[in-house]
Amino acid sequence: MKAFLILEDGQVFEGKSLGATDEVISEIVFNTSMTGYLEILTDPSYAGQSVVMTYPLIGNYGICYDDMEADKPWQSGFIVREFAKRPSNFRSAASIERFLVDNHITGIEGIDTRHLTKLLRERGTMNGMITTDENYKLDEVLPRIKSFQIGHVVLDVSCKKKIEYSGEGYRIAVIDLGCKKNIVSSLRQRGCHVIVYPAEVTAEEIIADKPDGIMLTNGPGDPKSCVKTIAEAKKLFETNIPIFAICLGHQILALANGADTEKMKYGHRGANHPVKDMKTGKVYISTQNHGYMVKEDSLDRDVVEVSFINVNDKTVEGLHYLGKNVQTVQFHPEACAGPLDTGFLFDEFINMMEVSK
């Protein structure tokens, strides 16, 4: 069946439908990872977005359910050049086509993804619609596409109630803003007792559970829409409990401390982003997935120092709050998909708790 991707500027790409055929309107973003499509599909940070994979062959190693980063995919749509019809991997349990059908994700293949990526790069992230309706009318759909907003989707992806994973080590409170599974796994691998809270949990509730450390996770959408979480984060910041925050969590803590965030032209999404550790000058390759960033000139240098920058565009990739055991990063040390190079940040978090004891 034919399918169409209609961009908000009126450009139309024709391809073939794959997976669900539901019409979806979302933000269109591209990801340059060459592997890890399942992790990307199931990363809750993509809620409200359809992802264009720049690598042309997707689904080669099928679906290895163990690699899912959430219980279900959160993307609206999936845009690729070519789906693998016959996957091959010893762990593969299904084809990606099966997975998309099972999870009601609208897919489209046969798209010149490079051409599309260049458009998104040049004009910035756009909204778009994927539809199988050949009789679509541009003047009817364009206003709908243009008016789409992701909104406060954090509440959709966050857990609805507290979940506890027991462990012998430090007690960690994880505020789930759209948490990838491997954040919890990375803590549990280090022996932590992990309690995951819904996004709008109060600071008091967390403090009452006496955590040794607090973790703010990744998540979708504009950080400024997380008004309540920002306020609670400020309160948690004022305690002396060590905090480690990733991605949206990093932005929320910055906002809580008076800094500003802004939407980027087309964001950072991929597994090859170089971040430089300002202390050692060493560069690590990181996984990234963000469309907003902390504005460097909005930082209060008496409160915070930049700990990591992106080597390519020099944007802020990590903050260290002066005199506090608070470390936040824009990139994803939990990887999945992507390089494991910055996993040591979890060890540093453990270390912070060790020191503050």
**Residues of the shown chain interacting with other proteins in the complex, contacts defined by CB under 8 A:** 30, 32-36, 38-39, 54-57, 60-61, 64, 67, 81-82, 84-91, 110, 112-115, 117-118, 121, 270-274, 276, 280-285, 311-312, 335-341
Closest approach of other proteins to the CB of residue 115, in Å: 4
For other proteins, the closer CB: 32 or 132: 32
For other proteins, the closer CB: 74 or 170: 74
Q: Residue type for 165, please? A: Y
Q: How many CA atoms lie within 13 A of 166 on its CB side?
A: 0
For other proteins, the closer CB: 122 or 140: 122
For other proteins, the closer CB: 159 or 340: 340
For other proteins, the closer CB: 61 or 165: 61
Closest approach of other proteins to the CB of residue 94, in Å: 13
For other proteins, the closer CB: 113 or 229: 113
Closest approach of other proteins to the CB of residue 353, in Å: 25
Q: Do 79 and 52 meet the contact criterion of CB atoms below 8 Å apart?
A: yes
Closest approach of other proteins to the CB of residue 279, in Å: 12
Active-site residue list: 247, 332, 334
Number of separate helices (H) and strands (E) present in the chain: 10, 19
Closest approach of other proteins to the CB of residue 124, in Å: 13
Q: Residue type for 328, please? A: T
Can you tell me the distance from the alpha carbon of 230 to that of 4, in angstroms, rounded to the nearest whole number? Answer: 39
3-state DSSP call for residue 240?
coil
Token duo for residue 190: 């280090």
3-state DSSP call for residue 5?
strand
What's the per-residue H, E or C state across 258-320? CCCEEEEEEEEEEEEEEEEECCCCCEEEEEEEEEEEECHHHCCCCCEEEEEEECCCCCEEEEE
Can you tell me the distance from the alpha carbon of 343 to that of 243, in angstroms, rounded to the nearest whole number? Answer: 16
Closest approach of other proteins to the CB of residue 221, in Å: 22
Q: Is the peptide bond before 337 cis (omega within 30 degrees of 0)?
A: yes
Token duo for residue 59: 């689904």
Positive or negative, the CA dihedral 171, 172, 176, 181 is negative
Can you tell me the distance from the alpha carbon of 118 to that of 134, in angstroms, rounded to the nearest whole number? Answer: 25
